[in-house]
């Protein structure tokens, strides 16, 4: 059963813009992205929208819907009253390119700062080995689709542009944690998370976890354990002494720290 949906959409570019009111016919079972596509096809041919898969997997269609960071392709119209006006605005934390499209290159710059996975030499038989439990532990973190909704909502950079150089954000704390928990990675991810990543600026508000469309428990499973690991490195006198005299340390899980 179709009905006329009222939409309020931000339109503009780097020089400025504002909200405009529109009305478009929608059908049962549709999502916000469907409504915007129909509006684009019938009324606003030049409306800029970034999207790709329409299946919640590419992470392209991130926007703010009624003020909440969400994927447009995964937000059902049935979540709203048919009489309600749905407001769609671009991600606030990143610079506008046009309409609903923002420049998310901040995230790619932060990704470039992250040294890639660096395993030690192979065993004598040419293989590398790790425990199944270590394989499973990182699995949740690899579900990330890089939608950057967590980056958008985090107040450390959302409200403080000047923090951006010093803060890599929840998506990358996830990556720090994944690699620090990997038994075959040889980089010192704890020092990197503290110094280059600015994990100390995170005050565990958990907003990132609330908006993650992949339901990754970013704060409890990645950020808090990573903060604890950083604190171990910085404040445990035995760990400090071991690092000074070159002894390999065991972390909380008993694995060898290379």
Binding interface with ligand FES (CB under 6 A): 51-54, 56-61, 71, 73
Which span (115-123, 130-138, 150-158, 174-182) binds ligand F3S, by CB under 6 A?
150-158
Site membership for ligand SF4, residue 212 (CB under 6 A): yes
**For residue 106, which of 171, 48, 176, 58 has the smallest C-alpha distance?**
171
The C-alpha angle 220, 207, 77, rounded to 5 degrees, equals 120
Query: What minimum distance in Å lies between the beta carbon of 126 and ligand FES?
Result: 39
Query: Applying CB under 6 A, which of residues 24, 91, 207, 216 lies at the interface with ligand F3S?
Result: 207
Please report which residue ranges of the chain form alpha helices under DSSP H. 32-42, 105-112, 132-137, 149-153, 155-158, 170-180, 189-195, 207-211, 224-235, 237-245
174 scored as a contact of ligand SF4 (CB under 6 A): yes
Contacting ligand F3S within 152-181 (CB under 6 A): 153-154, 156, 170
Contact status: 197 vs ligand F3S (CB under 6 A)? no
Q: Are 189 and 176 in contact (CB under 8 A)?
A: yes
**Which residue, 6 or 164, has its beta carbon nearer to ligand SF4?**
164
Residue 63: CB partners within 8 Å, gap ≥ 6? 69, 70, 72, 88, 89, 90, 91, 100
Toward ligand F3S, which CB reaches closer, 78 or 205? 205
Whose Cβ is closer to ligand SF4: residue 217's or residue 243's? Answer: 217
**Torsion angle (degrees, nearest 10) of CA 28, 33, 39, 41:** -110
| List of residues contacting ligand F3S (CB under 6 A) | 153-154, 156, 170, 202-208, 219, 223
């Amino acid at each position: 059963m179709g009905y006329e949906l009222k939409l309020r959409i931000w339109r503009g570019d780097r020089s400025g813009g504002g909200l405009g009111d529109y009305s478009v016919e929608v059908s049962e079972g549709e999502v916000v992205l469907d409504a915007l596509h129909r509006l684009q096809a019938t009324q606003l041919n030049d409306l800029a929208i970034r999207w790709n898969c329409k299946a919640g997997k590419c992470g392209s269609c991130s926007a703010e819907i009624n003020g909440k960071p969400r994927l447009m392709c995964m937000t059902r119209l049935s979540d709203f009253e048919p009489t309600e006006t749905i407001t769609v605005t671009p991600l606030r934390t990143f610079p506008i390119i046009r309409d609903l499209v923002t420049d998310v290159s901040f995230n790619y710059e932060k990704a470039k700062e992250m040294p890639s996975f660096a395993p030690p030499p192979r065993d004598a038989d040419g293989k590398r080995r790790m425990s199944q439990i270590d394989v499973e532990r990182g699995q949740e973190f690899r579900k990330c689709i890089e939608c950057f909704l967590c980056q958008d909502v985090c107040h450390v950079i959302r409200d403080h542009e000047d923090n951006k150089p010093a803060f890599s954000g929840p998506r990358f704390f996830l990556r720090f944690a994944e690699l620090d928990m990997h038994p075959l990675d040889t980089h010192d991810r704890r020092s990197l998370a503290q110094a280059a990543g600015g994990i100390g600026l995170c005050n565990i508000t958990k907003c990132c976890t609330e908006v993650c469309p992949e339901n990754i428990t970013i704060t409890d499973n990645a950020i808090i354990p990573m903060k604890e690991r950083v604190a171990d490195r910085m404040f445990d006198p035995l760990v400090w002494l071991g690092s000074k005299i070159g002894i390999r340390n065991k972390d909380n899980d008993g694995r060898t720290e290379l």
